[in-house]
């Protein structure tokens, strides 16, 4: 009965009806439950409202006032609509240059309205195209009474049927009355008490109609906990399911590991040895390995992977390494082949643009087992690639692959062990959110002989001095990489900038040196030819787009100049910086800031003052959010309503512990006290149940 009432169509809620229900349905609000979870976008209270007398230019501000005057105005070029707002402490103009015919019918004199936007100054303070919410006379003045008023997101189609913030407040009040205190909770009293959680009924009432800010905070915490809990429950169930998959136990390290280990010209760091032990224990287990290996740029992940591969091959299976770009695939292939040739392990490279005869020969070697290890790109997942016995898969920079692509590779073996590697340090909250079903290994120690790269931020006026510095370095036999930004949305424009930069540098600045251009649209053999020359120091200055972000390893490159550095994410800048200073000489990374804003100044200040990738990734997450950090196309399936990955760290860890404890005690959620959790989980996470068996 209680569950059914939540699934009642919204058209039966007082004040909605069939016409409004039809529009709400298109916005994804179909049931009473959907309406309850249509949370406010923000709130008006004493802490969020600014007196007009206290507003400042360039600050994003919310003011509440009464409209004293308004109308269509005309300038020499166009007409606009403007209202004058007063709050008892001063006056403010709110101005609209677009949609004048619509806006002029919205307001009447005497309306009490909350306006939100960036304050500008032009013949007095004003906000141009502000967000607005009309407040009813029956609603208390939040500034003078301490009331907390919810404001809701509303599309134009919703506003057309009277569902602005005021309209939503009315129908939500009706919905709560309709439910008549029949909102079921999926958590037991024991869980709510141990985790100090507000009952769901109270949380949903107070998120929409908080009696005070303290109640709002408790309601928000409970609903955030819920969202994080169910995702962590998914991770716990996935991890439980994966660990139950039978794999192969490699009891011995095999004949190759000791030979390779003894041939190393350097001592592994303590962190590398620890991670290698963790991987060795996984491989010795009868269950499949599902491990994420994080390590900062230059921390030595590849050598750990190489030794792990030697264990697997020593136990008779084939290994595949999938890289996101051909450059990185070539890099890995060269590294692995240089070691494995010494111990007679056959290694191959499989990429998209290979001669048919060469590809046919490689496919035959993979199929009959003669090739023990293959490095490749997406070419590995083509239908004509058949392994004799694929037992170990390594995926590098997995965030660049889709779930289906990873799955296609795993299906080419019988329950292969999986090691994911990334040189993008992942903030803890993201690691346990996006990779919470994996075991985590971190190489958090740099090799002793690795010198930190010196990073400096400059403006374009300083470039002549920088060009002289590059000249001095090249005269000493060192090399330089100049990077231009490249983003998908403006690829042609950016490529043109790189080409013009190459022409300018090669003809006007460094005419006496060999300068080459490399970018993503070149054919692979063209890129290879240029990189071979750069590696041999036949090219002293390499001009590039971000194709060099991963996979370039030229120890003689000591200087990197990054143009328009403000256009890069912090993590990407850190990745780029990791391409230089990989030899015995000190590295220098110079960031050219051409468009200066407060945000860009702050970001570039961070990158110039630390070389710790984990600190940088934390800051990058705060500045850009998880979607931009990872790329929205890869992780868009997480549609948070209230959760906040950047600031919810303690709640995420609390929710994770609760979820994992429940799954440990009840792996298929069959206990009576977990039945409500199970039902809610199956309702809301049906689209994410890969590898999960609780049926």
Average pLDDT over residues 92-116: 91
CA pair distance 307, 287, nearest whole angstrom: 20
Residue 402 has pLDDT above 60, yes or no: no
Instruction: Take residue 163 and report the two structure tokens written for it.
Output: 């569902």
List pLDDT tens digits, range 39-80.
Answer: 999 998 888 899 999 999 989 999 999 999 999 998 878 899
Q: Which strand (E) or helix (H) includes residue 208?
A: helix 200-208
| pLDDT reported for residue 639 | 66
List pLDDT tens digits, range 512-525.
Answer: 999 999 887 777 77
Residue 85 has pLDDT above 60, yes or no: yes
CA pair distance 388, 365, nearest whole angstrom: 9
CA pair distance 459, 63, nearest whole angstrom: 38
As beta bridge partners, residue 396 has: 421
**Phi, psi (5° rounding) for residue 602?**
-65, -45
Name the percent of the chain lying above pLDDT 70. 90
| pLDDT reported for residue 411 | 82
Angle made by CA atoms 640, 643, 646, in degrees to the nearest 5: 110
| pLDDT reported for residue 631 | 46
Angle of helix 165-179 relative to helix 200-208, nearest 10 degrees? 160
Radius of gyration of the chain (CA): 30
Given CA atoms 225, 227, 233, 238 in this order, what sign does their dihedral have?
A: negative
List pLDDT tens digits, range 141-177.
Answer: 776 666 889 999 988 899 889 898 989 999 999 999 9
Question: For residue 244, what are the contacts with CB-CB under 8 A and spacing of at least 6?
Answer: 287
- The closest of 32, 236, 189, 212 to 673, measured between CA atoms, is 189
CA pair distance 214, 113, nearest whole angstrom: 25
Residue 675 has pLDDT above 60, yes or no: yes
DSSP letter for 513, please. S
Residue 490 has pLDDT above 80, yes or no: no
Average pLDDT over residues 606-626: 75
| pLDDT reported for residue 637 | 47
Residue 614 has pLDDT above 90, yes or no: no
**Cβ proximity of 494 and 487 under 8 Å:** yes
**Cβ proximity of 570 and 603 under 8 Å:** yes
List pLDDT tens digits, range 220-237.
Answer: 999 999 999 998 998 899
CA pair distance 159, 105, nearest whole angstrom: 13
Residue 494 has pLDDT above 80, yes or no: no
Angle made by CA atoms 245, 309, 391, in degrees to the nearest 5: 35
CA pair distance 221, 203, nearest whole angstrom: 9
On the 0-12 / 13-18 / 19+ scale of CB atoms within 10 A, 627 is: middle
Angle made by CA atoms 552, 424, 482, in degrees to the nearest 5: 40
| pLDDT reported for residue 545 | 80
Average pLDDT over residues 674-688: 83
CA pair distance 102, 432, nearest whole angstrom: 47
Average pLDDT, the chain: 86
Average pLDDT over residues 648-668: 93
Q: Which strand (E) or helix (H) includes residue 443?
A: strand 439-443
Average pLDDT over residues 666-695: 80
Lowest mean pLDDT among 397-411, 474-488, 522-536: 397-411
| pLDDT reported for residue 488 | 43
Average pLDDT over residues 348-353: 89
| pLDDT reported for residue 284 | 93
């Amino acid at each position: 009965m209680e569950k059914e009432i939540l699934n009642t169509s919204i058209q039966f809620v007082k004040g909605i009806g069939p016409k409004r229900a039809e529009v709400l349905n298109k916005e994804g609000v179909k049931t009473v439950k959907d309406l309850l979870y249509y949370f406010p976008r923000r709130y008006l209270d004493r802490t969020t409202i600014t007196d007009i007398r206290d507003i400042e230019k360039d600050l994003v501000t919310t003011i509440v006032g009464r409209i004293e005057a308004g109308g269509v105005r005309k300038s020499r070029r166009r007409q606009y609509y403007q209202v004058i707002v007063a709050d008892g402490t001063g006056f403010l103009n709110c101005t609209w240059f677009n949609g004048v015919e619509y806006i002029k019918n919205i307001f009447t004199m005497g309306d009490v309205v909350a306006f939100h936007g960036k304050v500008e100054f032009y013949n007095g303070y004003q906000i141009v195209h502000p967000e607005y919410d009309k407040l009813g006379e029956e609603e208390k003045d939040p500034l003078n009474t301490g009331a907390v008023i919810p404001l809701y997101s509303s599309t134009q189609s919703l506003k057309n049927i009277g569902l602005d913030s005021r309209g939503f407040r009315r129908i939500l009040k009706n919905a709560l009355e309709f439910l008549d205190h029949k909102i079921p909770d999926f958590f037991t009293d024991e869980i709510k008490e141990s985790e100090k959680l507000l009952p769901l009924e109270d949380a949903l009432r107070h998120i929409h109609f908080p009696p005070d800010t303290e109640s709002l905070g408790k309601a928000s915490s409970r609903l955030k906990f819920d969202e994080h809990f169910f995702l962590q429950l998914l991770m716990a169930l996935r991890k439980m399911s994966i660990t139950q998959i039978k794999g192969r136990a490699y009891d011995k390290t095999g004949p190759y590991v000791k030979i390779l280990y003894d041939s190393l010209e350097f001592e592994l760091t303590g962190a590398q040895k620890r991670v290698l032990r963790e991987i060795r224990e996984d491989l010795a287990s009868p269950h499949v390995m599902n491990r994420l290996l994080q390590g900062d740029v230059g921390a030595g992940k590849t050598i750990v992977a190489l030794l792990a591969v030697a264990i697997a091959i020593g136990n008779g299976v084939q290994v595949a390494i999938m890289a996101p770009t051909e450059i990185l695939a070539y890099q890995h292939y060269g590294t692995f082949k240089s070691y494995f040739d010494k111990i007679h392990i056959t290694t191959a490279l499989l990429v998209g643009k290979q001669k048919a005869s060469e590809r046919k020969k490689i496919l035959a070697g993979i199929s009959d087992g003669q090739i023990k290890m293959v490095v490749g790109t997406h070419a590995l997942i083509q239908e004509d690639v058949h392994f004799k016995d694929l037992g170990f898969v390594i995926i590098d920079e997995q965030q660049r692959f889709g779930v289906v692509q990873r799955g296609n590779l795993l299906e080419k073996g019988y329950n292969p062990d999986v090691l994911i590697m990334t040189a993008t340090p992942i903030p803890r909250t993201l690691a346990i959110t996006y990779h919470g079903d994996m075991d985590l290994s971190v190489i958090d120690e740099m090799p002793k002989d690795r010198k930190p790269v010196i990073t400096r931020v400059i403006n374009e006026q300083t470039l002549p001095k920088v060009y002289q510095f590059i000249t001095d370095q090249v005269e000493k036999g060192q090399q330089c990489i100049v990077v231009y930004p490249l983003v998908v949305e403006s690829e042609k424009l950016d490529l043109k900038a790189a080409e013009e930069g190459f022409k300018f540098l090669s003809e006007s600045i460094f005419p006496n040196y060999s300068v080459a251009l490399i970018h993503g649209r070149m054919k692979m053999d063209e890129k290879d030819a240029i990189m071979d020359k750069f590696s041999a120091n036949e090219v002293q200055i390499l001009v590039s787009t971000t194709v060099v972000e991963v996979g370039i390893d030229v120890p003689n490159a000591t200087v990197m100049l990054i143009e328009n550095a403000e256009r890069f994410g912090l993590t990407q800048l850190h990745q780029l910086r990791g391409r230089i200073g990989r030899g015995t000489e000190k590295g220098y990374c110079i960031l050219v800031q051409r468009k200066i804003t407060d945000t860009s100044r702050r970001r570039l200040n961070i990158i110039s003052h630390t070389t710790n990738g984990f600190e940088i990734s934390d800051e990058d997450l705060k500045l850009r959010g998880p979607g931009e950090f990872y790329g929205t196309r890869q992780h868009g399936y997480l549609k948070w309503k209230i959760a906040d990955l950047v600031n919810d760290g303690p709640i995420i860890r609390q929710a994770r512990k609760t979820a994992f404890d429940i799954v440990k005690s009840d792996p298929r959620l069959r206990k009576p006290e977990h039945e409500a959790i199970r039902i809610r989980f199956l309702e809301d996470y049906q689209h994410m149940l890969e590898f999960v068996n609780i049926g």
